[in-house]
Amino acid sequence: MSATVKADVTAAYGTQAEPRLTHITPVKGTFYYGSCDGTFYAGTRFQLTPGSTEAEQVALQDDGSVMKYFIDRPGTGWTYLASNPFPAPPEGCAAIPEIPAHLSALWNDCRS
């Protein structure tokens, strides 16, 4: 996996979040990536980076502790797909129906 995938997923979440998040990065050890039938999937948790605004700090405090999942269908680019509820289910990403079961298994159910 290239750094470009992480950057593209991060940008997709940042631009789709409300408020817009520009000072975020994936939490080390929580980035999952794979494909199923020509569609790409990713999952990660985010943390703040230096320079974050108060609005970003509040947004990530409220929603930052859960895994977020993304999809990239051919020709569409990365888009937000789903999040774990809070608290996260013990099944990890296996509890997220939008994530193919075999990817969840490969990702050890996103239990980082």
pTM attached to this predicted model: 0.90
Identify which of 96, 46, 91 has the alpha carbon closest to the alpha carbon of residue 66. 46
Q: What is the pLDDT of residues 9-38, one digit of tens each?
A: 999 999 988 888 999 999 998 899 999 999
Distance of CA 93 to the CA centre of its chain: 11
Query: Could you give the CA distance from residue 40 to residue 73 in angstroms, rounded to a whole number?
Result: 6
Q: How far is CA 46 from CA 2, 36, 61, 69, 71, in A?
A: 18, 24, 10, 11, 16
Q: What is the pLDDT of residues 75-111, one digit of tens each?
A: 889 999 998 887 778 888 899 999 999 999 999 998 8
Supply 88's token pair.
Answer: 């996260």
Neighbours of 11 (CB within 10 A): 15
